[in-house]
Amino acid sequence: MDRIVIEGLHVRGIVGINPEERKNLQDIVIDVTLGVDTRAAAASDDIADAVNYRSVTKAIIAHVEQGEPMLVERLAAEIAALCLGFDERIEEVEIELHKPGALRFADSVGIVIHRTRQDLP
Which of the residues are catalytic? Answer: 99
Q: Where are the beta strands (DSSP E) in the chain?
A: 2-13, 26-36, 90-100, 108-116
3-state secondary structure of 17: coil
* Residues 6+ away with beta carbon under 8 Å from 78: 63, 67, 69
CA-to-CA distance for 53 and 41, rounded, in angstroms? 13
Asked if 79 and 94 count as a contact pair (C-beta separation under 8 A), the reply is: no
What is the amino acid identity at position 54? R
8 A C-beta contact, residue 76 and residue 113: yes
